[in-house]
Amino acid sequence: MIAAPRFPAEVRWPVVLLAIAWLARAAAAAASDVAGLALENPAPGVYVHYGEVAEMSRANAGDVANLGFVVGARCVAVIDTGGTYAVGRRLREALRKVTTLPVCYVVNTHAHPDHVFGNAAFAADHAEFVGHARLADALQRRGPNYLNALHRDLGDASDGTLLVLPTRTVSDTLDLDLGDRVLTLRAWPTAHTDCDLTVLDRASGTLWLGDLLFADHIPVLDGNLRGFLDAIEALRTQPAARAIAGHGRAGAWPQALDSEERYLRTLQADVRAAIRAGQSLSQTLGATTTPPDPGWRLVDAFHRRNVSAAYAELEWSE
């Protein structure tokens, strides 16, 4: 039984009514003051939110990466949390509409801000934060700059965003049991970044690739081009019923890797040829490289950066 609230006799009723109205409003706000993200449910227990294929902005509040969760018999694992605390809260709100089971794991596929900056929304769940063995180092090195840029570019939309470091790390593979459902995590050598992690839901054959797979969104190189191509080759042998890219919608597996591989191989061949011909970085950044396939989006934002990264990597080895 819950005792009715008592108010001292001298308190006037208008004050009491105001207090009750405030409590009711606060309770309603606690129940749901954010709109849940839109989810798709491609297999039993698998939920995916497709972020916009865009750079982070005030308008999208950092909702630009693919996120989701897998529901087991005992608990839930979240896979990537979005680019701001607000996006993380909206993901959590969507999750709570699907299940009341506890969130036991929050897995980050790599250190880029659009994948990790919603982590704080799951802090009260006492989940384990799981990532590649090098994730903490990457977040500590780059996190403060990522946060400054986020506050500068997104303003209020970035409120509440914090760096949340992993509490459990993966250096090779790790199985997480959600209750009658096992996720196999795999840490990769440097490829898209130096801390890429993939997640396979064995029950449904769903393979979450983080940014080892780009669809629609031009691939981004922030690690090692040879390593990225090696990872693609190894991933092709991984059986899966479906793939979830870090950005965009992946087609059938493993053909979903084809256009990314073509882009990266062309980049490698062009930059290698430019270096062998004695061209400088600025000459190489000119008109000498093959323009990316017109199907890719965000070419202006990332292609030249990829050429620079490939040039820096290849110039000492050609």
CB of 205 to Zn ion, least distance (A): 24
CB of 111 to Zn ion, least distance (A): 8
Which positions from 12 through 41 interact with Zn ion, judged by CB under 5 A?
none
CB of 198 to Zn ion, least distance (A): 13
CB of 24 to Zn ion, least distance (A): 43
Q: Give the binding-site size for Zn ion (rule: CB under 5 A).
A: 2
CB of 5 to Zn ion, least distance (A): 51
Contact flag: residue 196 with Zn ion (CB under 5 A): no
Contact flag: residue 112 with Zn ion (CB under 5 A): yes
Beta strands 242-244 and 206-208: pairing type? parallel
Return the number of the residue (112 or 181) whose C-beta is nearest Zn ion.
Answer: 112
Q: Which stretch binds Zn ion (CB under 5 A): 36-44, 147-155, 181-189, 207-215?
A: 207-215
Cα distances (angstroms) measured from residue 29 to each of 16, 22, 35, 292: 20, 10, 12, 47
Q: x-or-dash pattern for Zn ion, window 152-191, by CB under 5 A?
A: ----------------------------------------
Return the number of the residue (92 or 112) whose C-beta is nearest Zn ion.
Answer: 112
Contact status, residue 160 vs residue 88, Cβ threshold 8 Å = no
Return the number of the residue (72 or 83) whose C-beta is nearest Zn ion.
Answer: 83
Q: Is 55 exposed, middle or buried (0-12, 13-18, 19+ CB in 10 A)?
A: middle
Beta strands 128-132 and 168-170: pairing type? parallel
Contact status, residue 198 vs residue 212, Cβ threshold 8 Å = yes
Return the number of the residue (194 or 211) whose C-beta is nearest Zn ion.
Answer: 211
Q: Which stretch binds Zn ion (CB under 5 A): 14-22, 47-55, 111-119, 306-314?
A: 111-119
Contact flag: residue 211 with Zn ion (CB under 5 A): yes
CB of 141 to Zn ion, least distance (A): 15
Q: Which stretch binds Zn ion (CB under 5 A): 29-37, 129-137, 204-212, 277-285?
A: 204-212
Return the number of the residue (49 or 112) whose C-beta is nearest Zn ion.
Answer: 112
Q: In what order do the strands lie in the sheet with 206-208?
A: 173-177, 182-187, 197-201, 206-208, 242-244
Binding site for Zn ion (CB under 5 A): 112, 211
